[in-house]
Amino acid sequence: MTRDTTPTDRTEPQRSHSRRRVLALGATVGVGALGGCLTDSGEGAPDDGSESGAGGGGSDGGDGAAPSLPTVEDPPAATYVPTHFEAMRRLDPVEAGDYRLEPMLTYPHRFWNVTGDRIEAAEPTDDHDIHLMVTVRDAETGRILPADTGLRVTVGREGESGTPHTPWPMVSQEMGFHFGDNLSLDGDGTYEATVRVGAVDARKTGSFTGRFAEPATGSFAFEYSRAFRESVIDGIAYVQEESDWGARGALSNGSLGGDGGRSYGDADHGGSDHVDAQRQDAERDHRGEPRWEARVGDRRYGTYWRPPGEGELPPAAHLPGRLQGEPVVGDALLATSLLPPGSRFVDGDERYLLVSPRTPYNRSMLPMAALDYAVRRDGATVASGALDPALDGGVGYHYGTALDGVESGDSVTLSVTTAPNVSRHAGYETALLETGDASLTAKVPK
């Protein structure tokens, strides 16, 4: 894949692909939900000849096939705006120990798996009936968890033994971090799904200390029906400005809401160490380009600045300690902060180097990566090592290490040695893949 890393300017022609498309996803869809609600329907499907209802038959005879959805050809090597917003059914949340599970169901569709430095498209087949997704949250605060030991789902007809599946850890512009996969069913009817969540292996700090140490199980039911298959197709919302298809930007994250304490504000907003989030390059994105915003009905997309309540992770300026910067490696932002001695993140009197990798614009977490650091002074290395995964009640998922002896003016190198090995929905599959280094100059308050 040829990677275009040249920044674009919104005021200039941005894409050579214009209206070029690839028709995809000719597979049968499935699943209606008990207790769920359909996402708002979109408007303005393209009239260029892309057909809805095309594709092969599923296990029940194929009476409601997935649309042949247009996709962006030759997207940039960056986070980009796909051609459409997905339509899905959200089911009622399920409590499972320390966790709250949020199931979502839609038609089968393409996603991309990442293993090491390889990325491969996972195409839906005629045997697939649904795309099942589960977001795992903290039951107390509603914050999204990485559940990095995995998740297992067993799906079968009501009252019958089911088939076990291991969904992929995924990142999506609309759903954020979650688990998902295309699954096959056995015709219309009522199905039961049992979800087992493993313990979180990452080090826990703050209000998460001692939690998420045991596996937990929760169940939910749903209806697979023709009505659902038709409703999710009708609910697709197309990005109407085709000049925005493939533009650098992102769809808004619809999985986040105002309940459950999901807004972040962990930093001390007084004092010299705090940087006002509203002034942090609010008019330009991480590439230095002017921000922009567009809408499809009540859905937004673009590079506009999301407030604290519209992201899985806090804005960089809301991280505790002194913000060191937000360097970029492969379109992933590495929000970096240096905490004072004796914080809740360390056992002794050391400082704490905190690195919070996130997607641009939506601030979704990027787990399953590997990061190293090195601190140099006058050409000599004074500290180096790996950054360890950690999960904190106020900061969320991040990587960090205790750090002693760092001084202002020291050079801090962050090295992404393994890119996030999470699967991606459209808009992320050409981004967040690179390894490499980023450098900062340490700013240590006296």
pLDDT for residue 402: 97
Which helix (H) or strand (E) segment holds residue 216: the answer is strand 216-224
The predicted-structure confidence for 15-46, as pLDDT tens digits, reads as follows 333 322 333 332 223 222 222 333 333 334 44
Matching CATH topology for 21-242 and 248-441?
Answer: yes
The predicted-structure confidence for 219-250, as pLDDT tens digits, reads as follows 999 999 999 999 998 899 999 899 999 999 99
Model confidence at 62: pLDDT above 90? no
pLDDT for residue 256: 63
Identity of the residue numbered 373: Y
Model confidence at 153: pLDDT above 60? yes
pLDDT for residue 240: 87
pLDDT for residue 28: 29
Strands of 255-410, DSSP E = 293-296, 299-302, 322-325, 328-329, 332-339, 351-358, 370-377, 380-392, 396-403
Check if the beta carbon of residue 188 is closer than 8 Å to that of residue 234.
no
Model confidence at 149: pLDDT above 90? no
Query: Mean pLDDT in the chain?
Result: 82
- Spatial neighbors of 125 by CB under 8 A, at least 6 apart, are 27, 108, 182
- Three-state secondary-structure class, residue 330: coil
Q: What is the mean pLDDT of residues 122-126?
A: 91
DSSP per-residue letters across 391-422: EETTTEEEEEEEE-S--TT-EEEEEEEE----
Share of the chain above pLDDT 90, in %: 68
Q: What is the mean pLDDT of residues 198-209?
A: 94
The CATH class of 248-441 is: mainly beta
- With bands split at pLDDT 50, 70 and 90, how would you rate the model's confidence at 116? confident
The residue ranges of every structural domain in the chain are: 21-242, 248-441
* 106, 178, 195, 199, 291 from 150: Cα distances, Å: 21, 11, 11, 8, 36
Whether CATH 1.10.300.10 fits 21-242 = no
Model confidence at 324: pLDDT above 80? yes
When comparing pLDDT for 65 and 93, which is higher?
Answer: 93
Model confidence at 365: pLDDT above 50? yes
Model confidence at 107: pLDDT above 60? yes
